[in-house]
Structure 1
């Protein structure tokens, strides 16, 4: 402390004191003012000369500085009514050699509305953090995270940028693994609700008997409290309903009410609650088809489908494949701590000729595993799962007896594996055969 005082002039220390807090005061053991900053004086409509040396109670109405000096106990975040408004103040006793020599008081919020605004922000942030903890799948995505420059993807990204700032509901359709979640997150991030919660619920993952409680909350008559559901948790933000096609008809009616009347009724309750949410829904099944099958409400569908984003499967936008391949390869190399990994020519050919039924998610998962299975700095075909290699097995004739056809298929599969992998132990493992059985089949087909 001595060193601190030696290196800083008195004028600098005074500047620090004046700006360290909005308003503050220091009093001695007799509750007389030793120091008070200029901002506080202006608010109190007194000069510093008039205040210093006076009993603090004569200058600051309803002060508790004398009580802190008497008790020796800090009084933190305490409401203080002064000049017609409530403030929040801290009051701390000052000790020297174990003896109280005075007290320090500071205003931390000049009016309760300041506190309420911060409290609301903190509460919203904490709720969002809690949602992230409860839902480990939560990851923030932005539009620029969506890779691809094909005409279809460019058009969808352009549409997303246009409609995101509105409060209109959005329906995202596409096969599993096409990246519907990423577009839902992007819509939220580009909206005016981005500072409020993004809450996701997957209707296909929650048991039907628990789905109403999960979405709309439940009233506990014993404690007379409501445990909020996902709809209420998303208040002022975005509710992302994944796989909305799995939502039962009875709950579709409650969701429609939440959208139209901005009201929900928790389970076991007769009391409605107001909500302000934006709905983004996704489905890997055509909702119009479900309407024909009487499994989806037509009125809810028309409420949702005004803005529909149809995400194409990977096989229909293979011009994006190289971009996606390179992006995931670099990402997983970094995660694995590998500096340089390349794809063998045959590996690249196999990946590009595969039909990708699991879409972008399947590509991501396969490349993540392949990076760890890479031999030295090269991903060989042996690092790929069998379905990709089998998809490249040459065609065969379907004439003849079933035994002849199966024998030809077996030979073609063995030929394909032997061309890509020299280690027969690995081939046997991938095909689920013992090594002796593999050798018998190789001999049988003169391979």
Structure 2
């Protein structure tokens, strides 16, 4: 296709996209949609009028953050921006299923405005099959692979009605995360009082809200009355006011009064007693509480923690780190500014060496900082904050330290192995074992005692007297 001035050819391009049967759209150099046909709008599930003039971004979010929401399904990989190329693009269909299509694009340069360009993108006329998708995505292109894995995972969470604020917490395929999602499903189905336990920064309060939203409502209930209490910051007067509101509620058969208590462990004894007196699911009231650790008060735990959901620390699910980091990078992309593809392989390795005392909140801060510092398409180690480099240096120093040689322990292990081997060859006969070892029986007996290998008294296979007449060798 001949290069042309995009501004001069915009109207013909708009007519061309409208006439095409397959999805075709035009992006400006600022990633705004200049033109798009009905097939494009149908593929991502929006009206054409809402699409033209909006921005695209390299992310997997179905609802990009305000004030500048962007469409994640239409953006080519950042490394391909500004030049002709092809890639697999993904979107979440109206049925909640993830769809993938191959896309090709050409860049039209503006000869009169240096750096200005428009990109014409054409999508295939059908979605890829799972086998075609696996073949289209190179396993070596880690950011692209993570991008598509993230799109798929977010689609599943959306179908399960997981709020955006809890996505980071429930994302991942580690055993700990699968167990947590199972616990969430059981707690939501039961409608029982529940306790969410997790470290600071782990988004445990967001999980409590998800549980509230997903709870099975008795009798086909259409809603729940929610009263919230922050145990770490509310004073006694505020706490009593919230409890009075909760207890005063007389839910109709179609509703339930739910008390969401953040940091229930920080509340005073009198407030906890008031909660105990009111948390009766059979009376239409329910408590969902959060705490950093299991409750020490057995009475309160028995009443509130009918079901306990345990949020694993980030340091215990490092296998989920690459996907979580990709999510956070793409969330920054979704704000409509700089577009990055993800993290370089070495950057992922450095994140895995950190012990994450601040959990998900700290990871979010690290990725936001690195995204702001990065001027390339991938976050390299040099873009990561100092705290990550310090963790890497500490691990390197530990690996550089030579392991101490404890001669006594080493010799004991060798002697134990030789004695056990000789006893095996001698059928348990100690006199024969001593002969095989080239030592006297008294010396063998002393070694057996010292190494904890001596037989019970009277159980010697050879019946010999340890104090016999052999001279010590």
TM-score, normalised to structure 2, is 0.43
TM-score, normalised to structure 1, is 0.46
* Higher RCO (C-alpha 8 Å, min separation 6): 2
